[in-house]
Amino acid sequence: MARVKRTEKKTWYPIVAPKIFHNQVVGEILLTSPNNAVGRIIPVNLASLVKDPRRQHITIKLVINNAAGEKLHTEMIGYEINPSFVKRMVRKGGDKIDYSFTAETADDKKLKLKVVFLTRRKIKLSVATALRKNSEEILKKDIGKTRFVELMQTIVIHKIQGSLKKQLSKIYPLKTFEIRNIHIEKSKKHGEAIEVKKEAAKKAPKREEKQKEEAPKEETVKKEKAVEKKPEVKKETAAKEENKE
């Protein structure tokens, strides 16, 4: 009789958005265990979260961080504007300036930011440099005083972008200032640890092979030594017998 394999029963688990989005359900996932979903990244359109069709060009990245009961809770880890939307905003006669840098929040979260400036007219290189430098200084200062969750709230409601546009307009009047992308950057130490583990795993089989190769060599050496010793013993006993005679 062939044995019948028992398949684990799968269940639909709802995915819940963070408190900033009123803990609304953003989707469901079929799983055998809710713990299997922890760590998964879920991209969600901002328009569906805030019920505003004008925000369809923005994607919010959520990560499942807790499987409590029958619900999968998430936290926000990223914000991104679709590249096609930025291209549509560019007009002839103006300049588009992209800039990226890193910053650290008050709760020690290292972030990677990509910002974009749009001007109505062509600008000098010195003006573009001043805009980049000032935007980085202002954002780093503000981010350093703010916790990550609070920062993401100000970005979602477009508060920080509007405030920065006004401050940069003192250098040159901007048509648009946007944060194109912001996300938590992975630590280098974590990446190095993974690489070390991979290298150790690769080296382990080679070491075993070397040990196997060395083992027979050691055995043959022992045998050779034993063979060398035996004739010497025989010679000594033969010499003693001759002396007796």
Residue 62 lies in a domain: yes
Let me know whether 31 and 105 are in one domain. Answer: no
- DSSP characters for 72-139? EEEEEEEEEE-HHHHHHH--TT--EEEEEEEEE-TT--EEEEEEEEE-SS---HHHHHHHHHHHHHHH
Of 81, 97, 127, the position where a domain reaches its end is 81
Cα–Cα dist 101/132, whole Å? 10
The pLDDT assigned to 47 comes to 95
Query: What is the extent of the structural domain holding 24?
Result: 12-81
Let me know whether 69 and 114 are in one domain. Answer: no
Let me know whether 49 and 100 are in one domain. Answer: no
Residue 92 lies in a domain: yes
| Extended strands (E) in 150-198 | 176-184
Residue 99 lies in a domain: yes
Let me know whether 125 and 75 are in one domain. Answer: no
Count of the separate structural domains present in the chain:
2
Closest CA to 86 of 117, 130, 113: 117
The pLDDT assigned to 239 comes to 46
Q: How far is CA 182 from the centre of its chain?
A: 13
Cα–Cα dist 173/170, whole Å? 7
Of 55, 81, 107, the position where a domain reaches its end is 81
The pLDDT assigned to 216 comes to 52
The pLDDT assigned to 91 comes to 83
Largest CA distance in the chain: 122
Let me know whether 19 and 49 are in one domain. Answer: yes
Cα–Cα dist 241/230, whole Å? 17
Let me know whether 95 and 180 are in one domain. Answer: yes
Instruction: Provide the token pair at 62.
Output: 């959520």
Per-residue pLDDT of the chain (245 residues; tens, 9 = 90+): 456 566 778 899 999 999 999 999 999 999 888 888 999 999 999 999 999 999 999 999 999 999 887 899 999 999 999 999 988 888 888 899 999 999 999 999 999 999 999 998 999 999 999 999 999 999 999 999 999 999 999 999 999 999 999 999 999 999 999 999 999 987 544 444 334 333 433 444 444 444 555 555 555 545 555 545 444 444 444 444 444 44
Of 32, 60, 81, the position where a domain reaches its end is 81
